Amino acid sequence: MRHVVEVISYSTSGMRKDVVTFQFAPELPAVRSDPTQLEQVFANLLSNAFDAIGPMGSVQVVGSLAGDRVAVEIRDDGCGILSENLHRVFDPFFTTKPAGKGTGLGLAICYTLVQKLGGEIQLWSTTGKGTTVRVTLPLEGKNC
């Protein structure tokens, strides 16, 4: 699991570290992964979180053991996503960002990469309160 933490730390380089808190359970086991793909996933998720929070918000990254998987949640207290848009967030080219601010590919790429790694990605959001994205990945050596 150490490399997941390293990937997330690397993904936040150049971002506002003062608004990010990390909470990882001690001694999380290794997960099946490709560091390059994980870097892309977490860079996209963190970028979205930073875009959502504005100047006064915060982002929390939480890692825990969830049965035979490791779960990493990225939580922000930003603007949230309208409930009528939640079913489309992983669709390619769907974005809630203003024109010129997003391609609508970030979450679609995350979904595809997490699936390739044998994991799952889920998203919950409340307008005006924030968004949580949960990525669960199988432990190293476990079948999907």
Structural domains of the chain, with CATH: 2-138 (3.30.565.10)
The pTM assigned to this predicted structure is 0.86
DSSP 15-45: S-GGGEEEEE-TTPPPB---HHHHHHHHHHH
Mean pLDDT of residues grouped by 10 in the chain (144 residues)?
58 64 86 87 89 87 93 95 94 82 88 96 96 96 66
Contact between 43 and 122 under an 8 Å Cβ cutoff? The reply is no
**Which residue, 41, 47, 44, is CA-closest to 59?**
47
In this predicted structure, what is the pLDDT of residue 12? 59
Q: How far apart are CA 125 and CA 110, in angstroms?
A: 17
In this predicted structure, what is the pLDDT of residue 78? 94
Q: How far apart are CA 51 and CA 101, in angstroms?
A: 10
In this predicted structure, what is the pLDDT of residue 3? 54
Helix (H) or strand (E) holding 123: strand 120-126
At residue 46, what is the residue type? L
